[in-house]
Structure formats: structure tokens, C-alpha cells
Structure 1
Amino acid sequence: GGAGGSGGAGGSGGTGGNADGMGVRGVGPTVHELTGCTYATFIKCDPLPFIGTKGAVGLCQWFERLESVFQISECKETDRVKFAMATLRGRALTWWNGRTKAMGIEAGNNTPWSEVKKWMTEEFCPRSVIQRME
């Protein structure tokens, strides 16, 4: 049998090597690859942090970068809001926490990405700015 692997890395560690070996062996099958991306994969694609201080331009750049990261990481629609909101900092994070306080973070994370983008546009791009951009 080839797949057993009983004489592998675990045996050569000497004293104290067992704890590390168990962690690696205990990982099991990577189910996430079949169902979309993990948060680690999303972060490896280098999404921009969003602070909410650069107005419409900053928001547009953040949206564009996130859309690109969603494509590259094959992020599922159901994970997009949760992962995107993890990149918020400062004022933007305070805004999101306030926005989700009433509905609960689960409900916030389950809101469609398109809807959250609308909320963020209303909050971080005042109407007057949007009209100038069009």
C-alpha cells in the first residue's frame, strides 16, 4: 500500500516533535476548495483595506479591487460581505458595526453584496459627489 505513509515525518522528529506532527496530520481533506474560497485564500489575494476617508474615489478603488479579489479567489456570493467587511478599518468599521447592530452581524453578513455596496455608496459618497462623477 502506497498511501499509508506511517514512516513519514512524524517518526524523525525525536523528542517533542509529536505535537507539531499531529497538527499537520489532523488537517484532513480541504472541503473549502469545493465550496468557494477560505478567508485565508481571500486575504492572500491582497484586498485593499477600506477606511472611508478618501471619498468616492477611495470607495470605487476598493470596490474594483474587491471584485478582482472575488474573481481570483473564487469567493462565493454568500461569503463576499463577510470577507469584504473584514477589510474595513477606522470610520468604515465603526459605520458597519453601527449598521449591523440593530439587525445582528449574521443578518448583515447575509445581506447581498450588491445591497451592501449600495449602503456604502450612500454613506461614503454623498449624492453631490456622485453627480459630479457622472
Structure 2
Amino acid sequence: MSSLRNHHRHKRSSGSRDRRLAARIMKEFAAAMPAIITQIQSLNSNGSATSAAPNNYDFRNFLSTKPPSFHGEENVTALLQWFEEMENIFIHYECPDDKRTKFASSCFGDQAVIWWNALRNDQGSDLVVAMPWEELKEAMKKEFCPEHELKRLEAEFWDLKQIGGDNSTYSSRFRKPSRIVSHLVTPRPAEFRTTFVVSRSLSVMP
């Protein structure tokens, strides 16, 4: 009987110690919570700032690269060169996609400015400025590549021939006109076989 009473007293004492320990842990945890919350908020804030960093590229950054101008009176080759120089700036200085058309249009002069302003008046400034860079390039090709220049480039493209093993010269001559007459080198799936037949015109001379 005595041993049973001792067992109950020991059990009650052990339970009391457990409750005190649990209360102490809860108290310490509650005291530490504000610091934990502050640290989590700080980490989230730093993460958001890091992800938003590319959008900090502004017009001053763009102007500091001394971008080339385009006046709308240049030939097709000059237009291609302007595209390439602008794209080099966009890539090397990590210009965001949604700012490329807006920044590039600031380089327009003379006839190019007149065309750009007419486009904005016709379609709405917000819509035109938000145009993707690739769409702007296509619009500029249509506007500033005269029909006779396109036909000349098409004829030049089909007459291309590789002489001997001079691959680099052939590739360079192929690449420039193909960026304007891209419909001749980017076949639709249904035309895939036809393109291979027609491509025999790009023959290799012995």
C-alpha cells in the first residue's frame, strides 16, 4: 500500500515538472517570435529586390551606351546594321524586353520620326510603344525596305554560290540578305519539301 502511494506521488511530481518545462519552452518561444518574424520579412524583402533588379535599367543607362541613330533614309544594309547594333546593346546591357521598342524609338530621326509619330497617332501611343522588338523590326522592314530593294535582295539571295571551301564569306553573304527576305529561308511545314527542291539554286561551285 505504501509503495502504491509513493508511485502516485512520483507520478504527480513528474507530471508537474513536465508542465513547468512545457510552460518555460512556450514562454521562450513566444519571446523569440518577434525576432524570427522580422528576420523572415527581411529575407523576403531582399529576395524581392533582387528579382526586380533587371527592371532598374532606365533610359539613362541606355543613353550611356551611345546607341546609333536611324533616319529612315538609309539603305537596306544600313537598316540591318542598325538592328544588329541595337540588339548588341540590348543583350550586353541586359535591357528588359518591355523597354526595347521604347528606347530604340528614341534613336529615330527625320523620316523615321515622321513614320513613328504617324504610327502612334494611328494605333495609339501606349499600344505602339508596348510593341515587342521583333514586331518593330518587321514594321520597319515593311516601311523602309522599298520593293525594288527587296527584289534585288531576293535575286542576290538566289544567286548566291559558294566558291571552293570559303565557308565564312558565303555564310556572311547569306546571312545579311536572309534577315530581310526571311520568307525564303524560314519555310512553313507544308513547304518543307519544296524548299529543299528550290534550295538547289544555292549550289556549290567546284
Q: For residues 102 and 32 of structure 1, what CA distance do their matches in structure 2 show?
A: 33
Give the whole-Å Cα distance in 1 for the aligned partners of 2:95 and 2:89: 8
> Which of these two proteins has the greater Rg computed from alpha carbons?
2
**After the TM superposition, which residues 28-107 of structure 1 pair with which residues of structure 2 at under 5 Å, given as runs?**
33-35=53-55, 37-107=57-127
Matched, 1:124 2:125: no
Instruction: Assess, with a 3 A threshold, how the Cα gap between structure 1 residues 32 and 38 changes in structure 2: closer, same or farther.
Output: farther
Identity of aligned residues (%): 30
Q: Which amino acid aligns with 2:116?
A: W
Aligned to 1:113: 133
Normalised by the length of structure 1, the TM-score is 0.71
Cα distance between partner residues in 1 of 2:52 and 2:101: 17
Write 1 or 2 for the structure with the bigger share of helix.
2
Moved >4 Å (runs of 4+) = none
| RMSD (Å) for aligned C-alpha atoms | 1.9
The number of residue pairs the alignment matches comes to 105
TM-score (norm 2): 0.47
2: CA distance, partners of 1:51 / 1:32: 34
Give the corresponding residue for 1:11: none
Q: Distance in 2 between the 1:120 and 1:43 partners?
A: 22
Partner Cα separation in structure 1 for residue 64 and residue 150 of structure 2: 32
Q: Which amino acid aligns with 2:135?
A: E
